[in-house]
Chains A and B, each alone.
Chain A
Amino acid sequence: MHRLHIVNGKAMVASRRSIVARLLGFFSTPIYNAWKHRDLIVAILCRELHERFKGSIAGWVWAVLAPLLSLVTYTVVFQGAMHLPDNTTASTSFDYALFIFGGIISFNFFSEMAYRAPTLLHEYSHFIKNTIFPCDMIPLISTLRATVYALIGLSLMISAQLLLTGRLPWTVLLLPFWALALVLFLVGVTWFISALGAFTRDVSYLMVSIAPLLMFATPIFFSRESLPEPAQTLIYANLITAYVEIVRDLVVNGTIPSFGLCCWTGLVTAASFWGGYWFFDKNRYRVVDLL
């Protein structure tokens, strides 16, 4: 039975719990909530995807056409660039185009969330204020929606790799792990930014000013190895760098990312996911009152 017991603004838990139980609770809460509300997530996700291209004749063709056009553009513009930015000789003339495309997919996924997150809760305020809507699921739904478009881009990239170069490294089989990590990372980022954005509209302006700059601070058009030494390590402070490097390793280079890179990515993902949820959960009722 659903039971609510609140004393002076704090929810009471059934009994005093040990530190281990509380830690377990902390780590399992976001996952448990997502599972509990899976029907809601699916229902809203379906509606939003269904409506994205409603009213257009071509419909979902647009979702494929946009990334396809950018892939074609890179291929035409960079065709014949014989040297990859890390100074290894390109084996085919398409490698550089794919190299950029891999970076673009990851970065666009991030920037879509960064632009949308600050106003996300405002968009859904009619849900949050009028019904018993689990507002912590909104950033999750929104990220999953963007995931669909990122997956379209990724499939295009893999198909292009196969068609243009005639080979596909076995490491693409590891892509699901990369995708899972990137999605969890972005869910966490969205939790954080959306809660912050509910307090003040300034977050929205901040994102609009820094996201385009961040694009040049991410190794998309150049490779990390081409940077001078301190910058080579420093660029990992831009958290998207790790995800860009991994997708390139897996699809374009066909190598397994280094152990250090995998550890760093795992750490960033976990910190973002649980940290983001912690921040959102801590402020959720303050946010509701502000909307």
Chain B
Amino acid sequence: MTFEVIRTHRLGKVFPLFQSPADRLKEIVLRSPRSKPFWALRDVNLQIAKGEGVGVLGRNGSGKSTLLQLICGITRPSIGELWVDGRVAPVMALGGSFDPESTGRTNAVIAGVILGLKRHEVLERLDSIVEFAGLGDFLDQPVKKYSAGMRARLAFAVCAHVDADILVVDEALAVGDGAFQKQCLDWLGRFCQTGTLLFVSHSLDDVLHLCRKAVWLDRGRVREIGDPYKVGANFSKAMELEPDDPSRFQA
């Protein structure tokens, strides 16, 4: 029997677009709509079972990040139902939440605590985190002295140590070098044996390597869902054939 950890039913997220900030006030006060609705996601139905790896494909602005934010609980859907079971760890905009003035150690502790560990638990795992990240003596240097790759290494290393049930990875591996990408993919492969993975990447190879299922999002709607090879092939074909349509950003 499969146990679903993420389930959505007709999930939708709308952002009101205003011409000016004053319009927002007018809408609240006068209660007459002055905004255009922009549907970042619409009618998304997903069932993700425990231990399943799901790749999310789509062009820029197709709603991938919004979907992941909803699942992480960072923001709320406007409509539809969403169930999430288990501890979610987002590996998004890697290192973007680091404070450049603080040391790698301080940032690692804070990142770990945000993801739900206790302070002493992070400190106990710090050696292992440093080893995974391969930072060595840089741990006690301020993060502003790190390269983008080093930041990503540290951020991924922390996420790998928080015992998440559901890992949400958004474009995370793009900055690391080949060796680190491989290390992360290997780790994610092991993680997938027990945990659930939601994986956004523009690298189709990585998706095929890690995921047993793929979701193709197009303008906020699910265009295709199923076997990653089939969905991936159709997606690549569409990327080549369909011209980039700028009107998709219109409300």
Q: What chain A residues lie within 8 Å of B140 (beta carbons)? A: none
On chain A, which size bracket covers the interface?
20 to 34
The 8 A CB mask of B53-93 against A (1 = contact, 0 = none) is: 00000000000000001001111111111111111111011
In contact, B79 and A9 (Cβ under 8 angstroms): yes
Q: What chain A residues lie within 8 Å of B226 (beta carbons)? A: none
Partner-contacting stretch, out of B109-117, B127-135, B214-222: B109-117
Cross-interface CB contact of B99 among A9, A47, A285, cutoff 8 Å: A47
State how many angstroms separate the Cβ of B101 from the closest Cβ of chain A. 6
State how many angstroms separate the Cβ of B41 from the closest Cβ of chain A. 13
A127 and B107 CA atoms in complex are apart in Å by: 12
State how many angstroms separate the Cβ of A53 from the closest Cβ of chain B. 12
A66 and B50 CA atoms in complex are apart in Å by: 57
Main secondary structure of the interface of B (DSSP, over half): mixed
A44: interface (CB < 8 Å): yes
B118: interface (CB < 8 Å): yes
Looking across the interface, which residue of chain B has its beta carbon closest to that of A285? B76
A289 and B15 CA atoms in complex are apart in Å by: 8
Q: What chain B residues lie within 8 Å of A3 (beta carbons)? A: 83-85
A31 and B15 CA atoms in complex are apart in Å by: 32
Q: What chain A residues lie within 8 Å of B78 (beta carbons)? A: 8-9
Q: What chain A residues lie within 8 Å of B90 (beta carbons)? A: 130-132
In contact, A4 and B74 (Cβ under 8 angstroms): no
Looking across the interface, which residue of chain B has its beta carbon closest to that of A7? B81
Partner-contacting stretch, out of A35-43, A76-84, A219-227: A35-43
Instruction: Known A126-B96, A289-B75; judge A8-B115 contact (CB<8 A).
Output: no
Q: What chain A residues lie within 8 Å of B110 (beta carbons)? A: 40, 43-44, 47
State how many angstroms separate the Cβ of B205 from the closest Cβ of chain A. 26
The 8 A CB mask of A184-195 against B (1 = contact, 0 = none) is: 000000000000
In contact, A131 and B92 (Cβ under 8 angstroms): yes
A-B contact pairs, 15 of them (CB 8 A): A2-B88, A2-B165, A6-B76, A6-B82, A8-B77, A8-B78, A8-B81, A9-B78, A39-B113, A39-B118, A127-B114, A129-B69, A131-B74, A132-B90, A132-B116
- CB-CB nearest 4 A-B residue pairs: A4-B84, A285-B76, A39-B119, A130-B93
Not counting A40-B110, A44-B110, a sample of 12 additional A-B residue pairs whose C-beta atoms are within 8 angstroms of each other reads A1-B85, A1-B86, A4-B73, A8-B79, A9-B76, A39-B113, A126-B96, A130-B93, A131-B74, A131-B92, A131-B115, A132-B115
